[in-house]
Structure 1
Amino acid sequence: MARTKEFDDLTAVTAARDVFWERGYGPTSLAQLMAATGLSKSSLYETYGSKRDLFTRAAENYLDLIINPRLGPLDAPGAGRDELIAYFTGLEAFFTKAPDRIARRGCLLLNTAMDLNDLDDEAAMLVSGYRERVFEAFRAVLGTLGRADAERRAQILTASQIGLMVTSRLDPAAAAQLAHALAEDVRTW
């Protein structure tokens, strides 16, 4: 008779996500994943296949639970300037109020791009897809504002957002200031 899983998959994947997010893919050890998830080595391999497969699940969890809810208001019909300002003021509030250890995490997918010298195709697609998702959300909102330069401004905002997330790894207070400045810029558009 096959044994049933005695753990919550979402909890385990979220715990692994947080370890990868904080430490990076390469530096994360199997022992750290085992400690965070509470799973044995055999359970990790039996359930997720490999560290790389578990990372894929963690990245998907990150998109579903962190990125999509943050970008969701920008995707709503009629989203405009207020939602774009709220996006950046939300990041400002996060970097200001979150514990330093959490605020310094940056973005799991951008960290992956910097962590892995040679991204495999799947990881490269995740990172590229994330960047495209952010760009499209910004472009759609700027388009509803009737901006003739929506594409160019969306590219600038996307690059700024990526810079903001990288900055947060070094200095969350500086990232909060940048998020504030971006929100103020959007107010004038």
Structure 2
Amino acid sequence: MARSKEFDDLTAVTAARDVFWERGYASTSLAQLQTATGLSKSSLYETYGSKRELFTRAAENYLERVVLPRLAPLEEPGADLETLAAYFSGLATFFRAAPDRIARRGCLLLNTAMDLNDLDDDAAALVTGYRQRVFDAFAGVLRRSEVPDPDHRAEILTAAQIGLMVTSRLDPALAASAAEALTQDVNPRNHTID
């Protein structure tokens, strides 16, 4: 039985996502996308319209399948400082355990912001929306935990999280150490955040 178009589409978009994530938008060639997706040049254009449109689909896939599952526990009504500590601990574990090639990917959306000199409006909206979602998740936890000046602290943690993603591209072990330090800083048992 043949696979459904939806399955094939998801497989192709995920494969394209991984190429963009590893190489960056500007450095990803059409030939590399063809190899990764298994689609011909004409099929890529017929299905996705352009490299840019395929990138948009890949970035949406990244948000849905990579970013949001990691943020979801922080967005739960009962999320607390231990949940926030677990978020950073999970990043540390990932940076240490993932194969180097994967750990050095960083964040697809942040990479895009650094990769393109001028983001088009759609790409800028994706990056800004991502950053806002991270901030909102952190701020929500800090507000519920009645931490003093939660929005300011959420801004600092958001900047730190972005820094972790950039650092992981250079040195995953250093990013893991920084994530472990953040884990300790936000852990309520250490009383360092309040």
CA drift at 1:6: 9.7
TM-score normalised to structure 1 length: 0.96
- Partner-residue secondary structure (3-state), 1:130: helix
**Equivalent position amino acid for 1:159 in 2:** A
**Equivalent position amino acid for 1:175 in 2:** A
- Runs (4 or more) in structure 1 with deviation over 3 Å come to 4-7
Alignment RMSD: 1.2
CA drift at 1:7: 6.7
- State the match for 1:85 in structure 2: 85
CA drift at 1:147: 1.5
CA drift at 1:60: 0.2
CA distance in 1: counterparts of 2:86 and 2:5, whole angstroms: 41
- State the match for 2:59 in structure 1: 59
Q: 1:32 to 1:74 in 2, by over 3 A?
A: same
CA drift at 1:148: 2.6
CA drift at 1:129: 0.4
- State the match for 1:173 in structure 2: 173
CA distance in 2: counterparts of 1:7 and 1:151, whole angstroms: 41
- Partner-residue secondary structure (3-state), 1:179: helix
Deviations 1:38-90 (A, max 9, x none): 00001000000000000000000000000000000000111001110110000
- State the match for 1:25 in structure 2: 25
Aligned length: 186
**Equivalent position amino acid for 2:144 in 1:** T
**Equivalent position amino acid for 1:99 in 2:** P
**Equivalent position amino acid for 2:159 in 1:** A
What 5-or-longer segments of structure 2 have no aligned partner? none
- Partner-residue secondary structure (3-state), 1:148: coil
Higher mean C-alpha displacement, 27-36 vs 146-155 = 146-155
TM-score normalised to structure 2 length: 0.94
